[in-house]
Amino acid sequence: MKKIKKALITGITGQDGSYLSEFLLKKNYKVYGIVRRVALEDETHRLWRIKHLLKKITIKSASLESYASIVKIIQKIKPDEIYHLGAQSYVSYSFEDEFSTLNTNINGTHYILSAIKEFSPKSKFYFAGSSEMFGKVQKNKQDEKTRFYPRSPYGISKVAGFELTRNYREAYKIFACTGILFNHESPRRGFEFVTRKISSSVAKIKLGKQKHLYLGNIEAKRDWGHAKDYVRAMWSMLQQKKPSDFVIGTGEMHSVKEFAKLAFSIVGLDYRKYVKFNKSLLRPTEVHKLRANYNKANKILKWKPTVKFNQLVKEMVEEDISSLDKIFNE
């Protein structure tokens, strides 16, 4: 009889955590998720992305700021695979509260790696890196050998997590790898992220519930893909014989302005009539453009994106219109 694999996911309530849970359940994994106790006290607002999965997964209460709580769970479950997606992941907020961003993101990663080393050395570990690690880019396309130049406390915390992961891999022979994922979106994206801010605002404007959309640097260019594609890459990394780090992206680059223009055009509107500039939304240090070279992932993982930019924007806008329509007509 084939052994049922156990996977532990931090950040299971987020966009990536919810899609990864669905993906692993389809592969007959036993899925465990770590959430803060406060999330269990407010399921409606904090567990909405995984509400449909709650009877299929096992939720454990713990904090990434508590080594003891992390150890307790890893020691008890001894997961085959650990996906560390939990973090303070909003770049702009990391400037407002850099101390908690650095504390949570760096210590949380360190605690999990240490717990694996001490209590579950056979567990495979995936660390969610970010294209924000590249920051002020030195090359037209970024790959696994591109130098890091983070431009935010969030980006700095991710570089530290990357180095911790690499160090534990090399020093203690743990199967640990980092996925350096470029921007990946979906209808489950948090409203604080610019893509979801645009799609939800377009829906509200179309339905007559909002007049304008305020944005900061609309010339910023990013490599945008769909989160469903990216969780597939995470899993593939942990199925390899040897641990390695991979850049995951589409290889295409689009500006925030392009995203807004397309989103408004989907509902037959001209973005120029509704988008307003708000200086307060600019970051202290901007990352102007990011674009992935995912050749290594394509060659070794046989991975490539399946959702095109225009499909992604269309799905997000239509989903927001559908859900808001239901709310306003209740």
- Kindly list the catalytic residues: 130, 132, 154
Neighbouring residues of 113: CB distance < 8 A, sequence distance ≥ 6: 125, 164, 165, 168, 174, 176
29-59 as b/e: b if 16+ CB within 10 A:
bbbbbbbbeebeeeeeeebebbeebeeebeb
What residue type is 151 in one-letter code?
R
Give dist(CA 143, CA 55) in Å, integer.
Answer: 39
Concatenating the DSSP letter of every residue in 71-126 gives HHHHHHH--SEEEE--S---HHHHHHTHHHHHIIIIIHHHHHHHHHHHH-TT-EEE
Based on its alpha-carbon atoms, the radius of gyration of the chain, rounded to whole angstroms, reads 20
Give dist(CA 71, CA 118) in Å, integer.
Answer: 9
Torsion sign across C-alpha atoms 255, 315, 270, 200: negative
Strands 81-84 and 124-130: parallel
End-to-end CA distance of the chain: 50
Residue found by looking up tokens 């240090």 in the block: 285
The enclosing H or E element of 38 equals: helix 37-40
